[in-house]
Amino acid sequence: MKETILKLIREAKNNEDIYKDLDSIYTLYEQLQYSTNILQMAQDIFEWLKVKFNIDNMQFDLININKNSKENIFSIGQEFNLDDDLSFFFIISTHTTLNAIVSFRATSNVHYEVLREKHHDTIDSAFFQVSPIIQNGIIKKNYVESSSFDMLTKVFTREHLVNNLEKHLKLTEYKNNEIYFFMIGIDHFKAIVDEFDYDIGDKFLVELSKVIYSNISNFDMVARLNADEFLVTILDSNSEFEAENLARKIIDDFKEIEIVVDEETKQTLKKTICVGFDIFKIQGPDTIKEAIKNVDISLYEAKNLGRSQLFKYSDLSSEDTLELF
């Protein structure tokens, strides 16, 4: 790649078009330096390709080598495959498990030949020059997500949920005075790990997160706290009765989940959950952290009652509270 760039520099002395190509590469480089995240970088790259080379489609994907998975960051135009006869793709390695693939497709055979014969060195050199910026963007994204999200279940961490909830309440005029908190835990979760293994336990956690997400709205938030406990904040509910019914539906839906615990015999296992419930009054004396503590106590009481139980903090007597401490 070094030789290609030097070749372009030499030819630019006597070729105005190549000089303009080099100038555009460093214009893109400077533009990406101001990008705040990996999505904006992808959008800036597409705009450069569109203006400079008449590209009308592009895909920007992150590839996790260890998990053999792909995350699409940006996609525009008609879908295409990397092995398409008119496609081009460039791999940007971060020297970690995450790599990026930027791909696009020519609009015709003639367009393809022009890109391949006349502009390929310029495009290749551009990706080589901007790859360190993209690498930093990918690493930053991975760091932010690892500190803000539980990588197994794809929900928030506790700290991230609390911070986002506090910002949400400050920046928006929340229509209700109440927020409903659920603390959800799998009944006898440790027994799953003891009898089988952590992989089976992880499968139940993933399925529980799916059940929760399938029942709540886009405005509600979910975080994973301890091994099997999920904190849910219900922002999009009109009444305590409605929120309580939602909690019971999550309990009922999870009862039906079957996890294969033995691939040879196809033996399956079902589990149940309990839910602690509390109401956080925005204008009340309690803080969000105190509400989380209350709902945690409620889950403890729910599990004391048995399987598939819902317990509201408001039903807790003073004697019960004293027994907890």
Judged by average pLDDT, the poorest of 49-53, 111-115, 127-131, 306-310 is 127-131
> Where in the chain do CATH 3.30.70.270 domains reside?
152-324
Residue 231, classified by CB atoms within 10 Å of its CB into exposed (0-12), middle (13-18) or buried (19+), is: buried
Q: What is the mean pLDDT of residues 143-156?
A: 74
What CATH code is assigned to 2-149?
3.30.450.40
Q: Residue 88: beta bridge partners?
A: 104
- Rounded distance between C-alpha atoms, residue 221 and residue 234, angstroms: 7
- Rounded distance between C-alpha atoms, residue 245 and residue 2, angstroms: 64
For domain 152-324, the CATH class is: alpha beta
Give which of 213, 240, 234, 245 is closest to 165, Cα–Cα: 234
The pair phi, psi for residue 174, each rounded to 5°, is -65, 130
- Rounded distance between C-alpha atoms, residue 241 and residue 207, angstroms: 26
Q: What is the mean pLDDT of residues 258-270?
A: 89
113 contact partners, CB below 8 Å, separation of at least 6: none
Check pLDDT > 80 for residue 5. Answer: no
- Rounded distance between C-alpha atoms, residue 37 and residue 138, angstroms: 8
Q: What is the mean pLDDT of residues 315-319?
A: 67
More confident residue, 254 or 165: 254
Give which of 173, 165, 143 is closest to 292, Cα–Cα: 165
More confident residue, 323 or 212: 212
> Where in the chain do CATH 3.30.450.40 domains reside?
2-149
pLDDT of residue 164: 78
pLDDT in tens, 185-240: 999 999 998 888 889 999 999 999 999 999 998 888 899 987 899 999 998 788 89
204 contact partners, CB below 8 Å, separation of at least 6: 186, 189, 192, 228, 257, 259, 271
pTM, whole model, 2 decimals? 0.59
More confident residue, 283 or 54: 54
pLDDT of residue 18: 77
Q: Look over the chain and give the mean of its residue pLDDT values, rounded to a whole number.
A: 86
